[in-house]
Amino acid sequence: MRDVVITGVGLVSSAGEGLEAHLTALAGGAPNTDTASFEPFPVHPAVPLEWDRQIPKKSDQRQMEPWQKLGCYAAGLALDSAGAKEDAALKGRMQLIVSAGGGERDYAVDGQILTGLRQADNPGVFLNERLMGDLRPTLFLAQLSNLLAGNISIVHGVTGASRTFMGEESSGVDAIRIARERIASGQDDIFLVGGSYNAERPDVLLIYEMGGFLWKKPYAPVWERSADGGGMILGSGGCFLVLESREHAASRGAKPLAAIAGVASDRSRRRPGSVEGALHGLSRQLGAKPDVVLSGATGIKGITDEERAALKDIAPGAGVHATGDLVGHTMEAQAPIGVALAAGLIARGGPSEALVTSIGHWRGEGAIRLTKA
Amino acid sequence: MALRDKQGRPLVAVTGMGVVTSLGQGKGDTWAALTAGQSGIRRIERFPTEGLRTTIAGTIDSVDVEPFCAPMLSERLAMLAAEEAVGQSGLASSDFPGALFIAVPPVEMEWPQREALAKASGQEGDVTYKDLLKAAASGEFKPWHDLFIFGTVADRVADRFGTRGSPISLSTACSSGATAIQLGVEAIRRGEMEAALCIGTDGSVNPESLIRFSLLSALSTQNDNPEGASKPFSKNRDGFVMGEGGAALVLEDAEKAKARGAKILGYVLGCGEKGDGFHRTRSSPDGMPAITAIRQALEDAGLAPDDIDYVNAHGTSTPENDKMEAMSCTAVFGERMASVPISSNKSMIGHTLTAAGAVEAVMSLMTIGTGRIAPTINYQVPDPAIPLDVVPNVARDAQVNYVLSNSFGFGGQNTCLVFGAEPK
């Protein structure tokens, strides 16, 4: 089996743009939170970005909604950081796995239709007419899950082949897991892997509010929310990683930030204690002895407390950072962001081993072990 | 003898298959109808179609779910197909010895649910998402969170069949079903598991999904004769017809399958894929990505173009796809392509979108197993630009050992699979 290393990181979120900005923010300070736009729901808003810097064509920008633009931008940063951006041949054989949900809706149109449906003589016909008349034809392409990958292929020329994984937090872990396995087994040499999330959307807030998962008070650290009922604060951001075999990186003179020593994921039947047990199992499977933990904890009562208890056993004495306290909960992008931060810390010469955890808000448990390259 | 391919990887056998389409439930019914040249396309009865440009689809109306919505129907179709497939394989029906790879349509809350939330909000003036959010806070709608997130169909199927590990839900648009199979093949070849349950499912004929495709001018508008609307490779083709379907394949390490005495239905010999960065909905004019995907699949299978006996086409009936697919096949197969049978199941069941790659994989293996090629129906006006043997209108008997199955999708997705009766 071949070693798999990380040679590029692209990261944007409420904490800024680029790995350095995030490592600086990780060292301390209050996160960037918007409490007004979706009151009573706080969100961690993406910092304003100069889209032109990674998505040069306005025509491409117009075809995308924010979740795709965030992802496309982060993918460009990752290619830059890996020294791959200008190598068309390399990008032509680079494989792509994206973890994604779906895209934005036209909120004004939805509201107008719901208002009109109430009075409509024939609601079904009214719905047809309004959707036919009011939906922008290209909005569909900004909604389709696999069109983040499609846009990355178009904008950045990454055209080995793309696959899009769905399924909330788990999709982020499994995207990294499958990419690593394909490199380790010798099937492929180099991957671009990651995801993005736009939290500044009433439709996603709606889904999680229906489930009762959202924190509706001013920001509090994820570990401290349980006492007050618990809940997650969604965050906007995007993160992509360039993964390749150690040999492949060396052959093109790319400097690895860290190695991905293992990725484990599973799906416990959630009941009290199952998350704690699952984390112990994943950690054993990975042989983890981390100096630092990047936790994807949501702040949801119960599972967050179980994770904290498990980490006390798994990583006694290790520093534990909750990525939720830096960027919020970015759903499909949460695991990639944890890996990016862990790689950055290791590359700086701090810890020699890191563990990234991803306990899904509703299902799915995953962990990723990183070591010095 | 170790059952390995020329590259030393475990051979991947198919030991169970299940399918449900607008033509019937079960591969027997569907195959009988397909080889009889029957169409499952009909007028949409499920919702009012006044005001729509397209009013036909290959809906599955015999399956009832509550509440009726795309994720519930997609889940049910996946379950039906998987019950048939796992049942045929003879593997444990609730302790499947491998992982689940499932292609699911992107889901989101639908209009009946939005309307219920709007009503519950009590807002009598202009409704906004603020009102929906207010209604959501009641907790009364909690089950809809689970219903409309992306991982739920996979989670329920994984529960039902006891698959191992984290199930993977995926989308590569209209090639998703093929990608699910590819992921299973790769996992078995890497030696991570002995078996994989690979599913494609799509039950998303609802007003908004239909309208979205309609607004992109992707759908046939020849509503007068629903059964005649899907006309792959014909000169008068004018778009695809949406269809619903589910298909499941049990893949196994061939050595393990033989050791337990399982009946082997065929092999997945090769997979190929290639991205296309040309355009969001159109393919590179030179066809190179599709050509590369086909060549990779053949190479991965250890076959030469001349070995392929039949091509199960993507064949959507859109002007663009059929022209590009014909061109790409001709580029790979050369002059011989004029006499290689190529037919489109979509002429009868429509485009089952997320499920299509898996549905057509089952049909490719049925072709091998029965020695019969399903036709391309509605082929009345040949397109001189596509001088191929599309198996027009009537099924044909033939010895078929190796099949190429093509799947292409929006977003530059090109995935090709090669199936065989036996490895070469």
Condensed to tens digits (0 to 9), the pLDDT of residues A263-312 reads 999 999 999 999 999 999 999 999 999 999 999 999 999 999 999 999 99
pLDDT-based confidence at residue A97 (cuts at 50, 70, 90): very high
Chain A CB contacts of B289 under 8 Å are 159
Chain A CB contacts of B173 under 8 Å are 144, 146
* pLDDT tens digits, B364-416: 999 999 999 999 999 999 999 999 999 999 999 999 999 999 999 999 999 99
Chain A CB contacts of B288 under 8 Å are none
Look at residue A171 and tell me whether its pLDDT is greater than 70.
yes
Look at residue A181 and tell me whether its pLDDT is greater than 80.
yes
Q: What is the average pLDDT across B133-153?
A: 98
CA distance B411 to B414: 9
**Cβ <8 Å between A159 and B277:** yes
pLDDT at site A28: 85
* pLDDT tens digits, A226-236: 999 999 999 99
Mutate to test the interface with A, among B150, B164, B276 (most CBs of A within 10 A): B150
Look at residue A139 and tell me whether its pLDDT is greater than 70.
yes
**Cβ <8 Å between A153 and B275:** yes
The two tokens of residue B349 are 């069941």
pLDDT at site A29: 84
Q: Which amino acid is at B98?
A: G
**Cβ <8 Å between A132 and B215:** yes
CA distance B79 to B95: 15
pLDDT-based confidence at residue B104 (cuts at 50, 70, 90): very high
Residues 11-40, chain B, touching A (beta carbon < 8 A): none
Closest approach of A129 to chain B, Cα-based (Å): 6
pLDDT at site A142: 92
**Option in A160, A187, A366 nearest B275 (CB):** A160
Q: Which conformational region is residue B188 in: left (phi greater than 0), alpha (psi within -120 to 50 degrees), or beta?
A: alpha
pLDDT at site B2: 65
Q: What is the average pLDDT across B124-146?
A: 97
Look at residue B209 and tell me whether its pLDDT is greater than 60.
yes
Q: Does B116 touch chain A (CB under 8 A)?
A: no
Closest approach of B415 to chain A, Cα-based (Å): 9
Residue whose structure tokens are 């002007």: B319
Q: Catalytic positions of B, please? A: 174, 314, 351
In three-state form (DSSP H/G/I as H, E/B as E, the rest C), the secondary structure along chain B is: CCCECCCCCECEEEEEEEEEECCEECHHHHHHHHHCCCCCCEECCCCCCCCCCCCEEECCCCCCCCCCCHHHHHHHHHHHHHHHHHHHHCCCCCCCCEEEEEECCCCCCCHHHHHHHHHHHCCCCCCCHHHHHHHHCCCCCHHHHHHCCCCHHHHHHHHHHCCCCCCEEEEECECHHHHHHHHHHHHHHCCCCCEEEEEEEECCCCHHHHHHHHHCCCECCCCCCHHHCCCCCECCCCCECEECEEEEEEEEEHHHHHHCCCCCCEEEEEEEECCCCCCCCCCCCCCHHHHHHHHHHHHHHCCCHHHCCEEECCCCCCHHHHHHHHHHHHHHHHHHHHHCCEECCHHHHCECHHHHHHHHHHHHHHHHHHCEECCECCCCCECCCCCCCCCECCCEECCCCEEEEEEEECCCEEEEEEEECCCC
Look at residue B1 and tell me whether its pLDDT is greater than 70.
no
Mutate to test the interface with B, among A90, A145, A168, A201 (most CBs of B within 10 A): A145
**Cβ <8 Å between A205 and B104:** no
pLDDT-based confidence at residue A67 (cuts at 50, 70, 90): very high
pLDDT at site A283: 98
**Option in B126, B150, B415 nearest A167 (CB):** B150
Residues 46-85, chain A, touching B (beta carbon < 8 A): 63
Asked whether the whole model's pTM tops 0.95, one would answer yes
**Option in B52, B136, B146 nearest A209 (CB):** B136
Q: How do B310-312 and B245-253 pair as beta strands?
A: unpaired
Packing angle, helices A107-119 and B129-136, rounded to 10:
80
Q: Does A134 touch chain B (CB under 8 A)?
A: no
Q: Does B413 touch chain A (CB under 8 A)?
A: yes
Look at residue A103 and tell me whether its pLDDT is greater than 90.
no
Look at residue A118 and tell me whether its pLDDT is greater than 60.
yes
Residue A239's contacts (CB-CB under 8 Å, 6 or more residues apart) are: A9, A10, A11, A12, A13, A74, A194, A195, A196, A330, A333, A336, A337, A339, A340
Residue A83's contacts (CB-CB under 8 Å, 6 or more residues apart) are: A7, A8, A252, A253, A254
pLDDT at site B245: 98
CATH ID of B12-108+148-420, from 3.30.70.940, 1.10.10.10, 3.40.47.10, 1.10.1060.10: 3.40.47.10
Q: CA nearest B46 in A: which residue?
A: A124
Q: What is the average pLDDT across B61-87?
A: 97
* Furthest CA-CA distance within chain B: 75
pLDDT-based confidence at residue B12 (cuts at 50, 70, 90): very high
Q: CA nearest B174 in A: which residue?
A: A146
pLDDT at site B307: 98
Q: Where in chain B is the domain with CATH 3.40.47.10?
A: 12-108+148-420
**Cβ <8 Å between B108 and A102:** yes
pLDDT at site B27: 98
Residues 264-323, chain B, touching A (beta carbon < 8 A): 273-281, 289, 293
**Number of inter-chain CB pairs under 8 A, A vs B:** 235
Q: What is the average pLDDT across B208-223?
A: 97
Q: What is the average pLDDT across A344-361?
A: 97
Question: Are B246 and B26 contacting, i.e. CB atoms less than 8 angstroms apart?
Answer: no
To the nearest 5 percent, what fractions of chain A are helix, strand and coil?
45, 20, 35
What proportion of chain A, given as a percentage, has pLDDT over 70?
100
pLDDT at site B256: 97
CA distance B373 to A294: 55
Closest approach of B214 to chain A, Cα-based (Å): 8
Q: Does B411 touch chain A (CB under 8 A)?
A: yes
Q: Which conformational region is residue B284 in: left (phi greater than 0), alpha (psi within -120 to 50 degrees), or beta?
A: beta
**Least confident range of A102-106, B53-57, B114-118:** A102-106
Residues 84-113, chain A, touching B (beta carbon < 8 A): 96, 100-102, 105, 107, 110-113
